[in-house]
């Protein structure tokens, strides 16, 4: 039984609670619900976390922007082709401090999903993001990014307009941005589409988010030629927040209520706000050079050659 099936059972218990009017029976059902939550929602598999990261009711980037920041003014366009709705960005205020916020936007309803291309940005979306990052550096505003995408859009038009170059350009330019970048994976963190706004001085993940080179379905299709083995793929991909914290890829995990962020979004908004405040505070007295150097060192210390000795690989590399 996966987490979505457990959630359905939980809803049935809550519906039963709403039908009762006897105080003793209500109390018994409440205790049953809490016990069930504690038992079934606390030990989640990697596949459970994939399902929660994709949950339709999960708070989106727009929800975080609206509830975490005091003000937000959206800015549009890449000044080259068009405004990509899969990327939302602009100027926000957090406790009187101006920030630049950039995020993937998936949408909530089917119509919004289609309008936002399910959070899969075209190259103009990443160019818009880079334009806003450069603007943030010019006016000395810290940058906060919210990552939630299956990946960059792989369509013919996107490739023709330079999708790969746009992602690579962002990675190149972000490595030298002189203001702090705080990146938070709030849902799916898929491939280069996530990395293109994810090269932060600090990178956090919500507890039930995922961050990986591709989807479990894609991984299973490539490795086993069978997309139906996505559940098994999720277990070996090391894509959960706990896996990536253990590998020192991310800097911390933002806890969620039992069953996922959609059960108590207000609590998650509060924790997110506190996390950003604490993270940004450490950069108040740092110079642009120190901020860039910290980011450079972070990414130099992540990777293949940190964990494996090159000499030991000579026998298997051709």
Would you kindly state where each structural domain of the chain is located, as residue ranges?
A: 3-42, 47-302
Q: Are 226 and 220 in contact (CB under 8 A)?
A: yes
Instruction: List CB contacts of 127: < 8 A, sequence separation 6 or more.
Output: 78, 80, 81, 166, 169
Give the model's pLDDT for residue 32.
64
Q: Is 216 helix (H, G, I), strand (E, B) or coil?
A: helix
Instruction: Using 50 as the pLDDT threshold, list the residues of the chain that sit under it.
Output: 304-318
HSE, side-chain direction, 13 A CA sphere, residue 157: 6
CATH topology of domain 47-302: 2-enoyl-CoA Hydratase; Chain A, domain 1 (3.90.226)
68-72, long-range: CB < 8 A, 24+ apart: 68/94, 68/269, 68/272, 68/273, 68/276, 69/93, 69/94, 69/99, 69/101, 70/94, 70/95, 70/96, 72/101
Q: What tens digit of pLDDT does each residue of 261-295 get?
A: 888 899 999 999 999 999 999 998 899 999 999 99
In angstroms, rounded to a whole number, what is the distance separating the alpha carbons of residues 268 and 261? 6
Give the model's pLDDT for residue 144.
97
Sign of the torsion angle spanned by Cα atoms 6, 204, 244, 210: positive
Give the model's pLDDT for residue 317.
39
In angstroms, rounded to a whole number, what is the distance separating the alpha carbons of residues 177 and 175? 6
Give the model's pLDDT for residue 309.
42
In angstroms, rounded to a whole number, what is the distance separating the alpha carbons of residues 161 and 146? 24
Q: What is the CA radius of gyration of the chain?
A: 21
Q: What tens digit of pLDDT does each residue of 168-219 get?
A: 999 999 999 999 999 999 999 988 999 999 999 999 999 999 999 889 999 8
pTM of the model: 0.85
Give the model's pLDDT for residue 3.
66
Give the model's pLDDT for residue 24.
58
């Amino acid at each position: 039984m996966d987490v979505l099936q457990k959630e359905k059972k939980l809803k049935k218990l809550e519906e039963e609670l709403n039908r009762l009017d006897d105080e003793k029976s209500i109390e018994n059902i409440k205790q049953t619900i809490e016990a069930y939550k504690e038992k079934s929602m606390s030990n989640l598999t990697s596949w459970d976390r994939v399902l929660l990261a994709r949950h339709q009711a999960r708070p989106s980037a727009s929800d975080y922007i609206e509830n975490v920041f005091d003000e937000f003014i959206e800015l549009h366009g890449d000044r080259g082709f068009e405004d990509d709705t899969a990327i939302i960005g602009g100027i926000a205020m957090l406790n009187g401090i101006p920030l630049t916020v950039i995020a993937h936007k998936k949408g909530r309803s089917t119509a919004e999903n289609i309008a936002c291309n399910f959070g899969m940005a075209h190259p103009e979306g990443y160019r818009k993001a880079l334009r806003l990052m450069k603007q943030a550096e010019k006016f000395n505003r810290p940058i906060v990014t919210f990552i939630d995408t299956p990946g960059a859009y792989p369509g013919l038009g996107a490739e023709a307009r330079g999708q790969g170059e746009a992602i690579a350009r962002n990675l190149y330019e972000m490595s030298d941005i002189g203001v702090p970048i705080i990146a938070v994976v709030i849902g799916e963190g898929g491939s280069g589409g996530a990395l293109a706004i994810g090269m932060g001085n600090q990178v956090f993940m919500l507890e039930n988010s995922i961050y990986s080179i591709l989807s479990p379905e894609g991984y299973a299709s490539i490795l086993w030629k069978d997309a139906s083995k996505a559940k098994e793929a999720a277990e070996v991909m090391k894509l959960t927040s706990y896996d990536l914290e253990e590998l020192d890829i991310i800097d911390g995990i933002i806890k969620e209520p039992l069953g996922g962020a959609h059960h108590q979004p207000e609590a998650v908004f509060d924790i997110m706000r506190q996390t950003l405040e604490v993270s940004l505070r450490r950069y108040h007295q740092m110079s642009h050079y120190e901020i860039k150097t910290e980011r450079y060192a972070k990414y130099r210390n992540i990777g293949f050659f940190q964990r494996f000795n090159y000499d030991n690989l000579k026998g298997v590399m051709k």
